[in-house]
Amino acid sequence: MNEQKDFYQLEKNIILLKEKIEEILSSEEADKREKIAQLKKQIEKEWAKIIPRLTPLHIVQIARHPKRPYTLDYLEYLTKDFLEIHGDRRAGDDPAIVAGFGFYRGQTAAFIGHQKGRTTRQRIERNFGQPNPEGYRKALRVMKLAEKFNFPIITLIDTPGAYPGIQAEERGQAEAIAYNLKELSRLKVPIINVVIGEGGSGGALAIGVGDAILMLEYSFYSVISPEGCAAILWKDQQAVIQAAENLKFLAKDLLGFEIIDKIIPEPAGGAHIDYEQTFKNVDKQLNLTLKKLEQKSSEERLEERYKKFRKIGVFVEK
């Protein structure tokens, strides 16, 4: 990638400062807190210089950052005694989707999320976060259990899209996604969707129908990737910048379109720079949203959920 669209070049100074923080944390220095506070202020100053230069494609790179926190990282912070459920009871298990139950702020909740993997081996095992049909069926199995026991459902979205392989199609990829959309639209318990990285088309939407959609500040949610859009519309990968600008898939765009309900702020430099602050921000908004939803009856939630998704895509020409 050239310099204009390479976020990894822009963040070099911030990464160096982050590494210094990590060195101090692992040392036995007496004045750790003061030094870390100074370094964080420097990160904020560097980030303030970068923000005006950020393009939609830079946001895509932040959302895809290999060091960005993934579903399992969030679960470790947000939940206690998380119990993962495996298998769809039809074809097998899909490691690209993590699903199960854990204690969240004193109550049991179902958590479902995409998982990409860190190392090369993990990424291959997790299929780079691209679910097969059994992943979506496993997710629905857990959601149905949550409804049975009146547990709220929280989904963490971070996928480039559903896996487009031949075997996935043979096992009913499209049907699994479509069936999830139908079933999620009428589950009676509160459902909160959080886009934590990439929100890739039907692969994201298959666990993304709910009462409230939250997005991290530097994530994106789109019908297609900018690379895919450039290949189809312009038949030219050099048009990826133009595609990213025209897709309007950033959190601020989607909030304006009333597709999402809230933008969760990220720390200076992005979520990968300060995991703890990111988790705190997500936890705060998640808790507030869940409390509001639990005050409503299931009939109210279902009606509002229906209206929310029916109005998406409606526009008036001027």
**Residue ranges with strand state E in the chain:** 80-84, 97-104, 107-114, 153-159, 191-200, 212-216, 220-222, 262-264
**For 33-90, what is each residue's pLDDT tens digit?**
888 889 999 999 999 999 999 999 999 999 999 999 999 999 999 999 999 999 999 8
Beta pairing, strands 80-84 & 97-104: antiparallel
Query: In the prediction, which pLDDT does 4 show?
Result: 56
Across 272-284, average pLDDT: 96
The confidence band for 2, taking pLDDT boundaries of 50, 70 and 90, is very low
Extents of the domains making up the chain? 1-53, 55-310
pLDDT tens for 143-196 read 999 999 999 999 999 999 999 999 999 999 999 999 999 999 999 999 999 999
**Non-local CB neighbours of 98 within 8 Å, separated by 6+ positions:** 71, 72, 75, 84, 111, 112, 113, 114, 115
Give per-residue pLDDT as tens, 97-122.
Answer: 999 999 999 999 999 999 999 999 99
The pLDDT value recorded for residue 188 is: 96
Q: Specify the pLDDT at position 215.
A: 97
Q: Which of 147, 82, 68 is nearest to 111 (CA)?
A: 82
CATH 3.90.1150.10 fits 55-310, yes or no: no
pTM of the model: 0.92
Residue 288's pLDDT is: 97
For the stretch 210-264, pLDDT in tens is 999 999 999 999 999 999 999 999 998 889 999 999 999 999 999 999 999 999 9
Within 13 Å, how many C-alpha atoms sit on residue 271's CB side?
29
Q: Output the pLDDT for position 1.
A: 41
pLDDT band, residue 3 (cuts 50/70/90)? very low
What percentage of the chain carries pLDDT values higher than 70?
98
pLDDT for residue 260: 94
